[in-house]
Amino acid sequence: MQFVQNNLSIFALMVVSGLMLLWPMINRRVSGIKEVGTLEATQLINHHDALILDVREDREWSGGHVPNSRHIPLGQLAGRIKELEKFKDKPIIAICRSGARSGHGCGMLRKNGFEQVYNLSGGMMAWERANMPVERK
């Protein structure tokens, strides 16, 4: 206890940095966004006709993307959400490079009434690590 009292600022910094590391996980659970791995995503695509929504930038998209995915960069998603209205009854799997931006995209979709929203855990990096098909244009 004496150590904590003598090093209060260091202890506070440790607590704050720990919370910052945990916040994305806590936020996803509170917001109702489900994470899926590549196997679960493939099952949703094959059995439930899920839409893959790629929220990466144009340059990232052209470097390789999931076949048959729809590309709407995260910065444009709010203005283009109406393009996805016809998919409201289907599962939507959002994907980015690592899973962070797509988590934000999932949040936007949920706020606009999309119920079956999933974030691909690990993003395109996980997709490629699992040797899943990648289309390059």
As beta bridge partners, residue 43 has none
Cα 40 from Cα 88, distance rounded (Å): 19
Give me the numbers of helices (H) and strands (E) for the chain, helices first please.
7, 5
Q: Provide the CB-side half-sphere exposure for 105 (13 A, CA).
A: 33
State the catalytic residue, choosing from 96, 106, 117, 124.
Answer: 96
106 is catalytic: no
* Residue 58: partners with Cβ closer than 8 Å, 6 or more residues away: 71, 73
Question: 48 to each of 24, 51, 127, how far by Cα in Å?
Answer: 28, 9, 19
Residues with active-site annotation: 96
